[in-house]
A and B are shown apart, each in its own frame.
Chain A
Amino acid sequence: MPLSLQLCFVLGSLAMLLIVFALLKKNLLTVKYSLLWLAFSAVMLVFAACPYVVYVLRDLLNLVMPVNLVYLLLFCFVLLVLLSISIAISQLAEKNKRLAQANALLEERVRRLEQKLEEKNG
């Protein structure tokens, strides 16, 4: 792998790590959801810094091109992120429903109390 390409990879994965950290710092991302991204950026950084790891893994899995391993990992990672997002949405929908119900019950109670108060005052 040419040195210039390797440098690009290192800079790219470093940038990704930094972006995730910046988002965390600005509270645009919670730690819970950043873990996957942090782990992925760290792995990418290791791959870029010492490509030897990729070569060894390539040999272990009998792949022809080392880059295929990177693609494979990328794809698995994307699937994992999508699944975790679906889980997060389902949980949010459930909580949202509970919240709406509690709100409706409270609103009804307030209306009833207001009516009672009005009757009492004349």
Chain B
Amino acid sequence: MKVLVLIPCYNEEASIQRVVERLRSTCPQVDYLVINDCSTDNSEDILRQNGYNYLNLPINLGIGGGVQSGYRYARDNGYDIAVQMDGDGQHDPAYLSAVLEPVEKGELDMCIGSRFITREGFQTSFMRRVGISFLSGLLKLLCGKRVLDVTSGFRACGREMFCYFADHYASDYPEPEAILAATLRGFRVGEAPVVMEERQGGVSSINPMRSVYYMIKVSLSLIIDRLSYSPKRR
């Protein structure tokens, strides 16, 4: 199985090198691709000087557009599985196999690394957990699928799944929307327990100021996605 690990990177100069080195030493058998989303810091220099594999987006597309270009790369280069992993060091490559396994075995089309199954490691702030469980409930209501860690960016997708995402992927806060879109279209989505760490550097794309806006926007787009979906279109 050809596996590609996608590492979206926006201003992660403090952590990106460590993340890639750790991945290469833990899982030397998988390919990786860093997606530099037009960083304004030294991320690109670090990627070039170390000779890493990376995509360089000419304009900032945000996490959705960035990850989508990774899925397109995986599609065009004949990969079987694409795994998304954050560039800030939150996701330990030691758990890569846990997330990969259900997809490799063909049990799932998308497997999400969830920190809320075993409840070990970094669990994020209370307010954020409230937001996540709200979105989780909303998703359950809209498509009948219970996913605990809806905003987790640690996920593996099978070929059919990422070929779909290569053409249709939400741009701003795509994680919950991707779960809904996949489930509605009959893809099998599930979770695997992982342990996450606190970010090692950089600034999260979701800051407290924007979190209310984030919740409203995500909820609204989930509802609109659900309403505009008609089973005939697949």
Show the binding face of A for B, using Cβ within 8 Å.
96-97, 100-101, 103-105, 107-108
Contact = CB atoms under 8 A, between A and B. Distances in A.
Interface residues of B, number: 16
Say whether chain B's binding surface is mostly helix, strand, loop, or mixed.
mixed
A103 B72 CA distance: 12
Contacts of B56: 104, 107-108
A100 B57 CA distance: 6
B53 to A, nearest CB: 8
Contact of A108 (B55, B59, B61): B55
A96 B68 contact: no
A101 B55 CA distance: 9
Contacts of A100: 57-59, 61, 65, 69
Interface string B31-67: 0000100000000000000000111111101000100
Contact of A101 (B53, B54, B69): B69
A101 B65 contact: yes
B73 interface: yes
A58 B227 CA distance: 40
A104 B73 CA distance: 10
14 contacts: A96-B59, A97-B65, A97-B171, A100-B61, A100-B65, A101-B57, A101-B72, A104-B55, A104-B56, A104-B57, A104-B58, A105-B73, A107-B55, A107-B56
Residue of A96, A104, A107, A108 contacting most chain B CB atoms (<10 Å): A104
